[in-house]
């Protein structure tokens, strides 16, 4: 059974999930996400279902009296879902037809709306881990959704920064970040009517990319049909550019940041965006977190964001010219 344990030094929860240690190694010639596996329907388009080895559970229970106040514990209440982008095993996100990605966006919207109905859920986190370098051992196109009973520390810090900025400037911090990136243009990779993709000036790793909505939206639930279409389009373009960069399946973590749910107006000044991170340092090397990054949260990017943005722009053009109509 999973549980939450309080780190009093960082004032953050840690999920202790020993059940996940028992996850079996998947045979190379078998995929649980493919039709015929016995794990999923014989016919499906996009699909979400409960994770077999969840870190969070609605049945979670813990004896709260254990270890005293300094080492508080809580039940790891929540929900973990797997989201399958397609029944086709060999396809990547960018290789899916445009309308298939739109179906995926609509599934995310549907799951967000459903999960927030549980008033104990405070944050809904949609993400994708791609590639063995990230730890994803199944290449079938898929992501996950975690519904937390608390607001994770990274999101909490962003929320506080956005609130403070709005109090001081009467404007949205992420809206103003986007204006600055657009005005500069040096780090923009691609954009459309509703979204922009850029390497942020403060990027922590070489090929970090943000996708930011041009309209002030707090979550997917506020997207109109045009925004859903253009969100699908820019996801396809960014992930396509990643694979065009060096000609191999580019490993990344795709992290969707949205306002909290069931938390009053805590996220009123927040702004929807997607953050991509990768351990790739160059075509032939990997970036590792050292003591500074892990022990002090003092990130060091060994490359210049403007240089990496230019590389990604060129990769995007190659993707667009060679694969943009797929």
**Cβ contacts of 294 within 8 Å, gap of 6 or more:** none
C-alpha distances (whole Å) from 24 to each of 20, 21, 84, 148, 171 are 9, 9, 19, 25, 49
Give me 193's structure tokens: 């009517």
Of 89, 140, 142, 271, catalytic: 142
Q: Could you tell me the maximum CA-CA distance found in the chain, to the nearest angstrom?
A: 61
- Calculate what percentage of the chain has a pLDDT beyond 70: 96
Average confidence (pLDDT) over 278-300: 94
CATH code assigned at 69: 3.30.428.10
Spatial separation of the C-alpha atoms in residues 156 and 158, rounded to whole Å? 5
pTM over 0.75: yes
Element (H, E) at 232: helix 225-246
Cα 122 from Cα 78, distance rounded (Å): 9
Residue 322 dihedral angles phi and psi, to the nearest 5°: -100, -35
pLDDT at position 1: 72
pLDDT at 44: 95
Tell me the β-bridge partners of 196: 191, 212
Q: What is the pLDDT of residues 16-41, one digit of tens each?
A: 998 766 666 778 789 999 999 988 99
| Residue closest to 242 by CA, chosen among 283, 204, 274, 212 | 283
Q: How many folded domains does the chain comprise? A: 1
58: containing domain: 3-323
* Euclidean distance between CA atoms 247 and 283, whole angstroms: 9
142 a catalytic residue: yes
* Residue whose pair of structure tokens reads 């990274």 in the numeric block: 154
């Amino acid at each position: 059974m999973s549980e939450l344990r309080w780190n009093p030094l960082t004032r953050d929860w840690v999920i202790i999930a020993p059940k996940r240690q028992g996850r079996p190694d998947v045979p190379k010639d078998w995929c649980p996400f493919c039709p015929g596996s016995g794990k999923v329907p014989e016919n499906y388009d996009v699909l979400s279902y409960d994770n077999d080895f969840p870190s969070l559970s609605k049945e979670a229970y813990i004896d709260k009296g254990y270890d005293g106040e300094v080492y508080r514990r809580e039940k790891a209440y929540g929900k973990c879902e797997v989201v399958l982008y397609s029944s086709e095993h060999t396809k990547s996100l960018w290789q899916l037809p445009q309308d298939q990605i739109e179906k995926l966006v609509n599934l995310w919207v549907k799951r967000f709306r459903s999960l927030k109905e549980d008033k104990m859920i405070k944050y809904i986190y949609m993400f994708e881990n791609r590639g063995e370098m990230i730890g994803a051992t199944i290449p079938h196109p898929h992501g996950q959704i975690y519904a937390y009973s608390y607001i994770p520390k990274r999101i909490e810090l962003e929320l506080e920064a956005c609130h403070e900025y709005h109090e001081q400037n009467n404007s949205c911090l992420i809206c103003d970040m986007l204006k600055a990136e657009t005005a500069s243009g040096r780090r923009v990779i691609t954009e459309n009517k509703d979204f922009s993709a850029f390497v942020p000036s403060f990027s922590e790793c070489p090929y970090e990319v943000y996708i930011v909505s041009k309209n002030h939206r707090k979550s997917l639930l506020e997207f109109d049909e045009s925004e859903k279409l253009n969100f699908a389009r820019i996801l396809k373009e960014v992930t396509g550019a990643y694979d065009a960069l060096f000609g191999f399946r580019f490993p990344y973590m795709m992290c969707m940041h949205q306002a909290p749910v069931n938390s009053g107006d805590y996220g009123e000044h927040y702004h929807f965006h997607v953050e991509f991170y990768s351990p790739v340092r160059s075509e032939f090397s990997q970036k590792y977190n050292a003591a500074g990054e892990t022990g002090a949260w003092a990130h060091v990017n060994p490359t210049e964001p403007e240089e990496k943005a230019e590389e990604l722009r060129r990769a995007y053009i190659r993707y667009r010219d060679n694969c943009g109509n797929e």
